[in-house]
Amino acid sequence: MAQAMCLIDTSRCIGCRGCQAACKQWNQLPAETTTFTGSYENPPRFSSDTWCRVAFREHGDNGRVDWLMSKQGCMHCTDAACMQACPVGAIYRTAFGTVDIDQVKCIGCNYCVVACPFDVIGFDRRTNKARKCTFCIDRLENGLQPACAIVCPTRSITFGDASDLVPEAMIRADRLRAAGRVNARIYGLDELNGTAMLYVLTDAPEKYGLPADPEVPLQTRISNVIFRPLRLVVVVAAVFGLWATRSRSKQLEQARTESK
Ligand code: SF4
Ligand code: SF4
Ligand code: SF4
């Protein structure tokens, strides 16, 4: 698969939260205690134990009530702020074109949490690691679809290759506009050079609680330029240190053998 993708067609979402529950179940993420915030949206934000959430947004227009529901989570951006923010290179692009956090390499610095324009990364205080949606890489590697996609009863989430799903998304957005949803559009094609979660929205992204123009923060871009060469220096220094320690211990061992 060249580029794995989930097409999220919000016009088909009924807000059942099957995707949210399936994500918790497959990834063995515990439930969280929350309080009522005046919305069906629950939990109200992403965390290290909540990687997938269904957003419920109610809008009133000319006496008509519009419920906009959408499955949200990591977008698996091409221009990924989290990857650029990570000072130790723990966030990487997988063979499926998605973005994952190497839990062994993560040092819990939180830079990615702050940099993500979608605010989807949670910090796990138990392990001191950053966590988010993995695009179910463990399922993809075994020829399975992401848990959220397979469970969706209305096929609001469709898994496949970008080469098939991008044209499909365009057709669906056209159909919605022809049916009177004049603001219908695709979200995730141009944003951040494309995202592996591609949306068909019936209205403007802000109405779904999505940023209209998501960007990699300027300070992340600048620090990436500064830290990347430093990262190389640290790795070279570590390799040199290892080599020097090994040669010194070899010399000592040899000297010990000769003195016997
Ligand atoms: S949505 Fe955030 S966490 Fe996911 S790839 Fe983009 S920047 Fe990284
Ligand atoms: S792809 Fe997997 S990890 Fe990501 S939201 Fe869907 S179920 Fe959760
Ligand atoms: S499972 Fe499908 S229909 Fe149900 S909330 Fe998730 S995306 Fe919407």
Q: How far is the CA of 197 from the centre of ligand 3 (A)?
A: 14
Q: Are 122 and 48 in contact (CB under 8 A)?
A: yes
116 CB near ligand 1 (under 6 Å): yes
φ/ψ (deg, to 5) at 50: -130, 105
Distance CA 48, CA 46 (A): 7
Which of 132, 133, 192 is the best mutation target for the ligand 1 pocket, counting ligand atoms within 8 Å of the beta carbon and taking the most?
Answer: 132
SS3 172: helix
In the block, residue with structure tokens 């807000």: 15
| CATH 3.40.190.10 holds for 4-208 | no
Q: How much is the pTM?
A: 0.87
76 CB near ligand 1 (under 6 Å): yes
Q: How far is the CA of 199 from the centre of ligand 3 (A)?
A: 13
The sign one gets for the Cα dihedral 109, 112, 118, 123 is negative
| Residue 98 token pair | 């998605």
Q: What is the pLDDT of residues 74-96, one digit of tens each?
A: 999 999 999 999 999 999 999 99
Domain locations along the chain: 4-208, 229-260
Q: What is the pLDDT of residues 116-166, one digit of tens each?
A: 999 999 999 999 999 999 999 999 999 999 999 999 999 999 999 999 999
